[in-house]
Amino acid sequence: MSDHTTIPRNAPLEERPLIGSRAARYVFAVTRISIGWVFLWAFFDKLLGLGFATPAEAAWINGASPTEGFLTNAVSGPFAGAFGSIAGTFWADPLFMAGLLGIGAALVLGVGERIAAATGALMMVLMWAAVLPLETNPFMDDHLVYALVLVGLACVRSARTLGLGRWWGSTALVRRFPALR
């Protein structure tokens, strides 16, 4: 979990930090954990209806659909028909909720950072596409910014600081399938 180990100069590339500054590594790690919390919070709010973005009566645990509200409001964009047709379907709700939970947990813990970043970025781009055209900007919004930050976090291996990424990367499973890093 700590970043205090000394890495020899001749260590394999995957063992060396990509960011030389210790302060920068911690900023990226805290950013990763923060975005992970955003995903986890969305999961718990939609699951339990904590009253922030999701009222109790719209909670998944109470039989409501976590995808229906967002996707049925995407009625004016170029992809309105496609997104509207999957809103509340038997497969979209569990897949969306599993994505929120899995991406959030992986980012907070610092395991499977590559997969979490890729799937999180994909989810953000799809959510961006669902809200087109944007109300406040012709192109850019927070969904695309999150997607870019997620990709960047995986590129700098942020899970190796304040996370289990160093340990995770040394497991036999990840050594055999490096994409799981």
pLDDT of res. 93: 96
pTM of this structure = 0.87
Three-class SS of residue 114? Answer: helix
What is the rounded CA–CA span in Å between residue 46 and residue 23?
35
The predicted structure's pLDDT at residue 2: 46
Q: Does position 16 have pLDDT exceeding 70, yes or no?
A: no
- How far CA 139 is from CA of 1, 78, 125, 177, in Å, comes to 38, 14, 12, 36
Note whether residue 10 is domain-resident. no
**Any domain includes 5:** no
- Is residue 137, in this structure, part of any structural domain at all? yes
pLDDT band at 6 (very low <50, low <70, confident <90, very high): low
Considering the domain boundaries, does residue 13 fall inside one?
Answer: no
How many Cα atoms occupy the beta-carbon half-sphere of 147 within 13 Å?
15
Contact 144, 17 (CB under 8 A): no
Q: Give whole-number Cα distances, 140 to 31, 32, 36, 73, 74, in Å.
A: 20, 21, 21, 19, 17
**Residue 20 pLDDT class (50, 70, 90 cuts):** confident
Asked if residue 46 belongs to a domain, the reply is: yes
Q: Is residue 94 part of a domain?
A: yes
- Average pLDDT of span 46-62: 94
Domain count, the chain: 1
In-domain check, residue 14: no
* Residue range(s) defining the domain that contains residue 121: 20-180
Q: Which residues contact 28 (CB under 8 A, 6 or more apart)?
A: 19, 153, 156, 158, 161
| pLDDT, mean of residues 18-41 | 92
Pair 110, 162: CB distance under 8 Å? yes
- ω before 178 within 30° of 0 (cis)? no
Query: Is residue 71 domain-resident?
Result: yes
pLDDT in tens, 71-89: 877 767 888 888 888 989 9
